[in-house]
Copies of this chain bind each other. A is one copy, B any other.
Amino acid sequence: MAQQVDGPRRAPLNRDRVLRAAVVLADEAGIESLSMRNLAQELGVVPMALYKHVANKEQLLDGMVDVVVGEIDPPVRDADWKVAIRQRILSARAVLLRHPWASRVIESRPQPTPVVLDYMNSIVGMFRSGGFSVDLTHHVMHVLGSRMWGFTQELFPASPLPADPATQTATLRELAARYPHIAEIAMAVTHDEGSVVGHGCDDQFEFEFAVDLLLDGFERLHQRGWASRRSTG
């Protein structure tokens, strides 16, 4: 029981509370603000107190990934492999949209945690019960890559064009002079969107487009009985 004098004593921290607070802090202030010192302050505790619950910052990040991965929906039962995998991946994506920092953190983990392995294992299992050979499943998992987690590493996210129409056309003209092919795309996109807002690409569309293209490709290989040169898998 908490001590009466000196105000009610805070319930002791534990690993779970630390991890959840870290996730909230990263969600609200951005991953770059997640330092051991900031997190401790958020928890009303001295920085070194955290080290009683996580070994170091790397393990904190591992734990945060576990929290996030834990939010992904379980696989739907009794569905076609393609539908089931698509749905699972889109669920993962929905989670990552709630935790925009998570994709970068996932990328940075040197070793998978058990929670991560569980998720991957379950995806592999979905291909296998769709009739994919071990060998083909292995390769398509590599092809899926980060999209299995619901994100494409956006290299150089298409920077939004300036909102002001005047500077926008100026920027486009400049772009067209140096990078005509890119400009062509940028112009098509801004036209499509009814312009003005023109905030760039529709990430969700691009993601689903990619996943569908991949799954279609996987299906085709599967149907054709693809087998590697090295084994009959």
Contacts and interface: CB of A to CB of B under 8 A. Distances in A.
Q: How many copies does the complex hold?
A: 2
Contacts of A141: 185
B155 A206 contact: no
Contacts of A153: 107, 145-146, 153
Contact of A230 (B121, B192, B233): B192
A156 B109 contact: yes
Interface residues of A, number: 57
Contact of A146 (B125, B155, B233): B155
Interface centre among A116, A121, A135 (most CB of B within 10 A): A121
Contacts of A120: 156, 179, 182
Interface string A146-173: 1011001111100100000000000000
Nearest to A149: B155
Interface string A115-136: 0111011101100100000110
Interface string A188-210: 11011000000001000010011
A178 interface: yes
A142 B189 CA distance: 13
Nearest to A125: B181
Contact of A139 (B118, B145, B192, B209): B209
A134 B217 contact: no
A106 B155 contact: yes
Contacts of A139: 206, 209
A214 interface: yes
A138 B221 contact: no
Contact of A156 (B112, B121, B182, B185): B112
B145 A188 contact: no
17 contacts: A107-B155, A109-B156, A116-B156, A117-B178, A120-B179, A121-B178, A121-B181, A124-B182, A124-B184, A134-B188, A135-B188, A142-B210, A143-B206, A153-B153, A192-B230, A213-B217, A213-B221
| Nearest 5 CB-CB pairings of A with B | A124-B181, A121-B179, A112-B156, A142-B206, A143-B210
